[in-house]
Amino acid sequence: MKTEVVRYAHESQDLEGYVAYDEQQSGPRPAILIAHEWFGISDHERESALRLAQAGYLAFAADLYGIRNRPQTTEEAARMATEYRSGDRQLLRGRVNAALGEMKKHPQARKAATGAIGFCFGGTAVLELARSGASTQGVVSFHGGLAPSTASRTPKIQAAVLALHGADDPFVPPPDMMAFQEEMRSRGVDWQLVLYGGTVHSFTNPKAGHDASQGFAYEPRSAERAWEAALAFFAERFSVAGS
């Protein structure tokens, strides 16, 4: 697998993305953006990029914070993520759209066949990407925040939406899930919400540990089921796009 570090910028903020693709595969291929958890790009996102590359995609792990903004503690990560998630989320929308635009510039990316996945904070980010009306085939949120933002609902959501969620996730209460479903219905979105039993927050990340009583824990069975669901989702979406 070929990996690259890509420098780009948004609103004077220097950013550094991570790209992976199979250099033995000829020609441009569908491209999938990866939005990181609240600590920024980590081994979890890089490993996900490699898995997507092995599946035949170009993967682009976006930097949503910036080179000069690398949280070192849980408190710093929480503060930084909250800055992006609160209010109308216009900065978050702009930052993730900038990453999508940068990914489409890559010579190995098929610009008409793109998607995005995100984990936790990144799950919220890719939902905001869809809500912004971005031109992309589909987005997948893994244990992300589901509550609608206060940003404008005017843009038509062009992307299909798949939310993969722990049924026992205490950080996304039932009212948020209900609000998400109502938003998707009212905006005429092609959407799915999949709940995994016996599963809490951060279930895809091995570094989340195994103590579900904390409200977050790695659940390998649910993680693998969710990954396969995401791959099936993109195979369908890119087939519709004629890719």
- pLDDT for 146-196, tens place per residue? 999 888 788 899 999 999 999 999 999 999 999 999 999 999 999 999 999
CATH number of the domain within which 172 lies: 3.40.50.1820
- Calculate mean pLDDT across residues 104-111: 96
d(CA 44, CA 29): 23
d(CA 23, CA 3): 9
Q: How many domains does the chain have?
A: 1
- The structure's pTM equals 0.95
Average pLDDT, the chain: 95
d(CA 88, CA 29): 34
Place 240 in a pLDDT band, splitting at 50, 70 and 90: low
- Residue by residue, DSSP assigns 90-147 as HHHHHHHHHHHHHHHHSTTEEEEEEEEEEETHHHHHHHHHHHTT-S-SEEEEES---S
Note the pLDDT of residue 149.
87
The whole domain housing 115 covers 2-240
- pLDDT for 11-30, tens place per residue? 989 999 999 999 999 999 99
Query: Does position 200 have pLDDT exceeding 90, yes or no?
Result: yes
Query: Does position 242 have pLDDT exceeding 60, yes or no?
Result: no
Place 230 in a pLDDT band, splitting at 50, 70 and 90: very high
d(CA 239, CA 223): 24
- Rg for the chain (alpha carbons), in Å? 16
Tokens 């170009």 appear where?
58
Place 86 in a pLDDT band, splitting at 50, 70 and 90: confident
d(CA 210, CA 30): 34
